[in-house]
Amino acid sequence: MPKSTFSSRSTFQGMLPWLILAIIIILADQFTKTLIVGYYKLGDSTPVTSFFNIVRAHNTGAAFSFLAGAGGWQRWFFTGIGAVATIFILWMLRSHHAQKLFAFALACILGGAIGNVIDRLLHGYVVDFLDFYYGTWHFPAFNVADSAITIGACCLILDEILRVRRGGK
C-alpha cells in the first residue's frame, strides 16, 4: 500500500474519536434545542432552583448578544465565521489529533460551533435556554453548544499553559 494512503487512513483513525465527540455534542445540542422549541414559547420560563431557570430565548447575535440588533446581516456573517472555523478546526485536528487535551478542546469547539450554525441556518437565530441568575442579575441565557465552546476554550488555555511549562514543545 502506498505510504500516502496509509498516512491518510491513520490520520482519519486518529481524528475519529474527536469527530465522534463533536457529533455527540451536536446531537445533544440539537436534541435539547428541539425540546425547548417544542415545549416553550419565546420568553417562557420554568424555575428549577433558586438560581437557575429553563427559558426560551433567541439570540440573533453572537456571545452576549453581540450584534443582535444589527438588522439581519449578522446571521450570514456568524454562519460564515462558523463555517470557516469548522474548516480550520478540522485542519488542526488532522495535524494534532494525537495531542489529547488540544484535540479534545478542538472537538468541543467544533461541535458547539456546528450546533449554533445549524440553528442560524434553520431559524435565523440561536436557541438559548439555560438561565443562571442571582437576585435580579441574570447571566445571558446559553445552550449546550455554548457550553461546549466554553469548555473547549478553557481547555485550549490549559493546554497552552501546560505546553509552556513543558518547555514549549
Please state the pTM of the whole predicted model: 0.85
From 29, 119, 146, 159, the catalytic residue: 146
Q: Decide if 146 is catalytic.
A: yes
CA neighbor of 130 nearest in space, from 2, 24, 29 = 29
Query: If you compute the radius of gyration of the chain from its CA atoms, what whole number of angstroms results?
Result: 18
pLDDT at residue 33, rounded to an integer: 98
From 29, 119, 128, 131, the catalytic residue: 128
> Does the pLDDT value for residue 74 go beyond 70?
no
> Does the pLDDT value for residue 150 go beyond 90?
yes
133 neighbors 139 (Cβ within 8 angstroms)? yes
Q: How far apart are CA 94 and CA 18, in angstroms?
A: 10
Domain boundaries, the chain: 3-165
pLDDT at residue 6, rounded to an integer: 45
Q: All 3 cell numbers of residue 72?
A: 439581519
For 47-63, write each residue's pLDDT tens digit.
999 999 999 999 876 65
| Phi–psi pair at 4, nearest 5 degrees | -65, -35
